[in-house]
């Protein structure tokens, strides 16, 4: 992570994220400050009612993803593209219940992350526990929950979680931040059928063609810009 003015642009960051979604790296402070959406706590998506997250958790999710991938001149942000909906829907799926993970003990939380996930929480439990712990920390430090903080304060908290400078009860802050950032990027780039990437906004921004089935006419045209917009798995076109 870099806070320097010369750090990679948001567009480059998102291009790299498409290739390596699990990478744990928060947008630099300069890029984070470019959010055009104001307070994420009020930037709701009325068309979707969360099925898993409670009202305070939903406010946290919106406030967090708004700072992780804010809207800017380069393209839409996570809120605009429905990332909170993607996250909520995943919590009721096999992924959220840990159905895709090995969840048997022993659990060794201090094990290096290179050896894989070592906590007893399924993703939905990790979100519930982590959000409560971060809100509790914010209440002690700032007298209000995360979603009520200023954008600058939310950035500081997210940086603290990423670096492990903030200590949470029951789980490592870095593990919670890593899952939140990874899932945010997944929701931002996933096919719209999963709830995020509304209208294929992120694909349009980076020039990704989506699920087009036939590129035969372009095999012999190296270097030429592909002129057609993306197509979703269900066949929707931009």
Distance CA 99, CA 177 (A): 21
Give the per-residue pLDDT at 111.
66
Do the Cβ atoms of 111 and 119 come closer than 8 Å? no
Residues 109-139, buried b or exposed e (16+ Cβ, 10 A)?
eeeeeeeebbbbbbbbbbbbbbbbbbbebbe
| C-alpha span between 88 and 97 (Å, rounded) | 12
- The interaxial angle of helices 151-163 and 55-68, nearest 10 deg, is 90
What pLDDT score does 112 carry?
Answer: 67
Q: What would the DSSP string read from start to end of 98-156?
A: TTTS---S---TTS-GGG----S--HHHHHHHHHHHHHHHHHHHHSS-GGGS-HHHHHH
pLDDT of residue 12: 60
Residue entry with tokens 């498409």: 18
Domain ranges of the chain: 10-208
Reference 67, options 158, 146, 190; nearest CA is: 158
Residue 208, CA distances (Å) to 7, 156, 174, 202, 212 in order: 23, 32, 31, 8, 10
pLDDT for 118 = 73
User: Quick one: pLDDT at residue 147?
Assistant: 97
| CB of 28 closer than 8 Å to CB of 4 | yes
| pLDDT of the residue at 236 | 86
Entry field: residues in the chain: 238
Output the tens digit of pLDDT for each of the chain's 238 residues: 434 333 455 556 555 555 444 333 344 333 333 333 344 444 444 578 999 999 999 999 999 999 999 999 889 999 999 999 999 999 999 999 988 777 777 777 766 666 667 778 899 999 999 999 999 999 999 999 999 999 999 999 999 999 999 999 889 999 999 999 999 999 999 999 999 999 999 999 998 888 888 878 888 888 888 888 898 988 888 7
Phi and psi at 44, nearest 5°, equal -85, 170
Residue linked to tokens 């659990």: 107
Residue 20 has a pLDDT of 44
């Amino acid at each position: 992570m870099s806070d320097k003015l010369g750090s990679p642009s948001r567009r480059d960051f998102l291009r790299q994220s498409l290739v390596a979604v699990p990478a744990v790296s928060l947008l630099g402070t300069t890029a984070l400050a470019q959010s055009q959406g104001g307070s994420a706590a009020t930037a709701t998506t009325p068309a979707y009612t969360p099925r898993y997250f409670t009202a305070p958790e939903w406010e946290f999710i919106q406030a967090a993803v708004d700072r992780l991938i804010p809207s800017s001149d380069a393209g839409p942000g996570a809120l605009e593209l429905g990332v909170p909906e993607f996250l909520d829907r995943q919590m009721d799926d096999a992924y959220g219940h840990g159905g895709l993970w090995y969840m048997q003990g022993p659990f060794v939380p201090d094990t290096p992350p290179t050896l894989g996930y070592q906590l007893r929480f399924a993703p939905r439990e990790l979100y519930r526990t982590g959000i409560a712990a971060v809100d509790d920390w914010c209440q002690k430090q700032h007298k209000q929950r995360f979603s009520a903080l200023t954008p600058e304060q939310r950035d500081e908290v997210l940086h603290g979680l990423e670096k492990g400078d903030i200590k949470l009860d029951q789980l490592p802050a870095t593990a919670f931040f890593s899952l939140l950032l990874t899932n945010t990027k997944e929701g931002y780039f996933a096919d719209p059928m999963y709830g995020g990437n509304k209208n294929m906004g992120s694909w349009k921004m980076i020039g990704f063609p989506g699920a087009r089935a036939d590129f035969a006419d372009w095999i012999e045209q190296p270097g030429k810009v592909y002129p057609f917009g993306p197509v979703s798995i269900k066949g929707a076109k931009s």
